[in-house]
Amino acid sequence: MERDNAIFELIEREHHRQQGGLELIASENFVSEQVMRAMGSCLTNKYAEGYPGHRYYGGCQVVDEVESLAIERIKALFDAEWANVQPHSGAQANMAVFMACLNAGDKFMGLNLAHGGHLSHGSPVNFSGIMFQQCEYNVCPDTGLVDYDMMEEVALRERPRLIVGGASAYSREWDYARMRAIADKVGAILLIDMAHPAGLIAAGLLENPLKYAHIVTSTTHKTLRGPRGGIILMGKDFDNPWGKVTKKGVVRKMSSLLDSAVFPGVQGGPLEHVIAAKAVAFGEALQPSFKDYALQVRANARAMAQALIDRGYKICSGGTDNHCILVDLRTKFPELTGKVAENALVAADITANKNMVPFDDRSAFQTSGLRLGTPAITPRGLKEDSMEPIVELIDTVLHAPEDEHVIAAVRAKVNEMMNDRPMFAW
Ligand code: DSN
């Protein structure tokens, strides 16, 4: 077979982009070489519909061991009683939970998308908002923190069957105990989607939602530094039946409902090569050095937030407890949209994304915010002392987003800073 130059040249170009740039997208990361190797292995050739020991195909004896190891490791990492490692993504993990816990048309509650929530927590263009009825809670206008009083008020009024916590642009710790109390008060199931801070939780730097939530979902590729994918976990509530009765009158355990919801509910054959890479990443996260990584991610985020504040930027909620920083551009640059800022930064090889800020007066396509994060620059070896110089580069671009000379000069500095750093130096 001839080499597919078209694709391999594109991969090489992407490699070059990643190598020379500053990756500040809060949901991205750089995986280790062994995570990459597991993903690019012969396991991709195997069909394995079903679960270890109960497959619909022969020849699954090896992938059974791979998947069992991934389950064992993720349970150890988060002190879980039960895990499903098959979801292809975080959104699919959430979809499976909705399928297991709700009937079409049931009501659930999630964080307002415009206040940092996620598409799969009730956006009208996502399955969650199309097939189910969403009610929502906000962050407080004065503090930028989740408004738990509002959450309770809405829960008591709307009686959702499922309450979802977790966000894609929220930089503060969650009050899981209060959320569980609210869920218990209205008889709702509590789902925490920890996709963003999962790595910091695994390292023990943030509260573990498994102690409070009935069900926890996550992606594996953000702060957890694994391959792209999803997981579903349960703690002490794993054995609870939640009243879904089968046609034969059997009340099924939630763990069994969730397994069936993933396969055959919303997915077919699992991606065993990705599950192997997940197992490798979970093994890495169980090593003591992962805690050093997570500590550095958080230290870098704090230093970056402070450097931004020192230059007059407004940070939503006033700072960060995790890896993520949401900048409200309006205070410093009232006319600058997130869209223009994102494009100018990308031209300077600094990748970040536009994001709505709470109570934004611009649309999701323009936005007044910029989301930044430190999970991906940290494995490249950058520490606190690099954060002020990085903020200076960002600030220079945002002062002159249409000036090609300024952008070219910043790009040269970014490339000089990054070109010789290995993709994964941790
Ligand atoms: N798209 C992800 C993020 O960037 O936060 C969430 O799934």
Distance (Å, rounded) from C-alpha 333 to C-alpha 341?
10
Q: How confident is the model at residue 242 (pLDDT cuts 50, 70, 90)?
A: low
Residue 80, pLDDT score:
97
Mean residue pLDDT across the chain: 96
Tokens, residue 273 = 């090569």
Q: Is 293 a catalytic residue?
A: no
* In the predicted structure, residue 37 carries a pLDDT above the cut 70: yes
> Which pLDDT score, from 0 to 100, does residue 360 have?
97
User: If you measure from the C-alpha of residue 247 to the centroid of ligand 1, how many angstroms do you get, rounded to a whole number?
Assistant: 37
Q: What is the pLDDT of residues 47-90, one digit of tens each?
A: 999 999 999 999 999 999 999 999 999 999 999 999 999 999 99
pLDDT, residue 241, reads 60
In whole angstroms, give the CA distance from residue 74 to residue 205: 17
Question: Alpha-carbon torsion 10, 13, 19, 25, what sign?
Answer: negative
For 317-334, write each residue's pLDDT tens digit.
999 999 999 999 999 999
Residue with CA closest to ligand 1 atom 1: 27
Q: Whose CA is nearest to atom 6 of ligand 1?
A: 168
Q: Which of 49, 81, 152, 173 is catalytic?
A: 49
Structure confidence by residue, pLDDT tens digits, 4-13? 999 999 999 9
Q: Does 360 participate in catalysis according to the annotation?
A: no
Give the number of the atom of ligand 1 that is nearest the alpha carbon of residue 196.
5
Catalytic one among 75, 180, 222, 411? 222
Q: How confident is the model at residue 227 (pLDDT cuts 50, 70, 90)?
A: very high
Q: Which two tokens stand for residue 318?
A: 């006033």
Determine if the peptide bond prior to 422 is cis (ω within 30°).
Answer: no
Has residue 306 got a pLDDT over 80? yes
Atom index in ligand 1 nearest the CA of residue 353 equals 4
Q: Which of 219, 320, 367, 374 is catalytic?
A: 219
Q: State the pLDDT at residue 236.
A: 77
Q: Is 395 a catalytic residue?
A: no
* Tokens at 241, concatenated: 């039946």
Report pLDDT digits (tens) over 378-420: 999 999 999 999 999 999 999 999 999 999 999 999 999 999 9
Q: What is the predicted pLDDT for the residue at 245? A: 55
Let me know if 159 is a catalytic residue.
no
User: Residue 186 C-alpha to ligand 1 middle, in angstroms?
Assistant: 29
pLDDT band at 243 (very low <50, low <70, confident <90, very high): low
Above 90 in pLDDT, residue 425?
no
Q: How far is the CA of 196 from the centre of ligand 1 (A)?
A: 8
Does position 26 have pLDDT exceeding 90, yes or no?
yes
Among residues 184, 198, 191, which one has the least CA distance to residue 98? 191
The closest alpha carbon to 294, from 211, 374, 351, 232, belongs to 374
Q: To test ligand 1's pocket by mutation, which of 118, 217, 322 has the most ligand atoms within 8 angstroms of CB? A: 118
pLDDT per position as a tens digit, 258-277: 999 999 999 999 999 999 99
Amino acid (one-letter) located at 204: G
pLDDT digits (tens, 9 = 90+) for 351-381: 999 999 999 999 999 999 999 999 999 999 9
Instruction: Dump pLDDT digits (tens) for 118-167.
Output: 999 999 999 999 999 999 999 999 999 999 999 999 999 999 999 999 99
